[in-house]
Amino acid sequence: MTTPSLLDGLPLPTLPGMVHGIVAQEPWGVQCDDCLRVFSDERLLFAAQRALFNLYVPGTRKCGDCWRAAGWAYGNDGWRRVS
Ligand SMILES: [Zn+2]
């Protein structure tokens, strides 16, 4: 279950010195490139796990829903094409 963020839907700049998609601190916020939802958590790792990079599509960070819509799934064996 994802708690909606006030930042959802606004394309936000990556914070200076941070990896692409990290748009907030305290708590950490990580944004999906497609739907622009922002996933927040006090722990950066937990926020980042909800909007993932895909090694086959470098530089793009998306949430699970958007990766699935783009034909990708992530499981125990890594990324795989599903459509
Ligand atoms: Zn998304």
Beta carbons within 10 angstroms of residue 55's beta carbon: 8
4 Cα to the center of ligand 1, angstroms: 12
Total structural domains in the chain?
1
Is the residue at 44 inside a domain?
A: yes
Is the residue at 7 inside a domain?
A: no
Give residue 1's pLDDT: 46
Is the residue at 17 inside a domain?
A: no
12 Cα to the center of ligand 1, angstroms: 14
Rounded to an integer, what is the distance from CA 14 to the centroid of its chain? 12
pLDDT tens-digit map of 1-55: 456 677 788 999 999 999 999 999 999 999 999 999 999 999 999 999 999 999 9
Domain ranges, residue 39:
22-81
pLDDT tens-digit map of 48-75: 999 999 999 999 999 999 999 999 999 9
52 closest CA partner among 11, 70, 4, 82: 70
User: Which chain residues have CB less than 5 Å from ligand 1, an ion?
Assistant: 32, 34-35, 63, 66
Helix (H, G, I), strand (E, B) or coil at 66: helix
CA atoms 79, 19, 33, 49: torsion sign:
positive
Is the residue at 68 inside a domain?
A: yes
